[in-house]
Structure 1
Amino acid sequence: MKWMHPNNNDVIHAEMDVRVGGRFRIIMRTPEGEEHDVSGVFQEVVPDEKLVYTWAWRSTPERESLVTFMLHGEHGGERTLLTLKHEQFADEAARDDHEGGWNHVLDELSRQFA
């Protein structure tokens, strides 16, 4: 909840059962007050290395995509490289919208560790 703020949205609810088959749900509120609800199921969980989960907005559940976070320790554990891949979008517009949101989220995550 500290860094998941795409496009200046606030996370107002988050729940996660981080295990294969476990579910997550995040509700975000825009600065204008509109709420967005996303959820999914964890497909792969490798502690300190990898998370793979489905991603679907409540408003368009049929447009499920796939998110992969990978962590790689560097320089003897002094740094960690995070690789994010979000794929299987319904169309290019959805891909582009998510790219902007994820870039904002990753910038905020970086600020948390600065």
Structure 2
Amino acid sequence: MIDASIDAKIGGTFRIRFKEPGPDGEIHDVSGTYDAVETDAKLSFSWQWITMPERKSHVTLTFMAEDRGAATILTLHHTQFFDEAARDGHQKGWSSTLEKLEAYCTSE
């Protein structure tokens, strides 16, 4: 993560810049607008790369607390891709991100 600006409310926007791992990692710059914000339950927002604004897609995250313990189940739906290559690239990126989140959450 390089920097982030987040206004998590309906109609609010975000912008996140991050760098791929490694000394020559590519810098990515993404932004969007929230259309649903439900505390402890749901976030829904547009997703577009600054360099390709015509390729706007949509992300919905839902959160469900498990009955037994402090764990939360996260479900991610990313839709409206420009093409299959964009879909496949996002699947790889989100999978990597969620694996890192899981490792972080289980290391505490």
Query: Which residue number corresponds to residue 4 of structure 1?
Result: none
Sequence identity percentage: 45
Residues 12-33 of structure 1: per-residue CA shift (max 9 Å, x gap): 0111000000000011123314
Q: Which runs of 5+ in 2 are unaligned?
A: none
Match in the other structure for 2:71? 79
Aligned match of 2:48 in 34, 56, 69? 56
Shift in Å, 1:34: 2.8
Q: How far off its partner does 1:75 sit?
A: 2.0
Partner of 1:67: 59
CA distance in 1, matches of 2:59, 2:69: 25
Q: Give CA deviations for 1:18-74 in whole Å, capped at 9, x if unaligned.
A: 000000001112331432110000110000000000000011101100001100111
| Whole-angstrom CA distance in 2 between matches of 1:96 and 1:33 | 19
Partner SS for 1:113: helix
Distance 2:63 2:19 in 1: 28
Q: Does 1:13 align with 2:3?
A: yes
RMSD: 1.1
Write the mapping of 1:1-114 to structure 2, written as runs, cut at 5 A: 11-30=1-20, 31=22, 32-114=24-106
Write the letter of the residue equivalent to 1:72.
Answer: M
Letter of the aligned partner of 2:27 in structure 1? E
CA distance in 1, matches of 2:16, 2:83: 22
Whole-angstrom CA distance in 2 between matches of 1:50 and 1:113: 19
Letter in 2 for 1:71: F
Any stretches of 5+ residues in structure 1 without a counterpart? 1-10
SS in structure 2 of the partner of residue 75 of structure 1: coil
Matched positions, count: 104
1:51 match: secondary structure: strand
TM-score (norm 1): 0.86
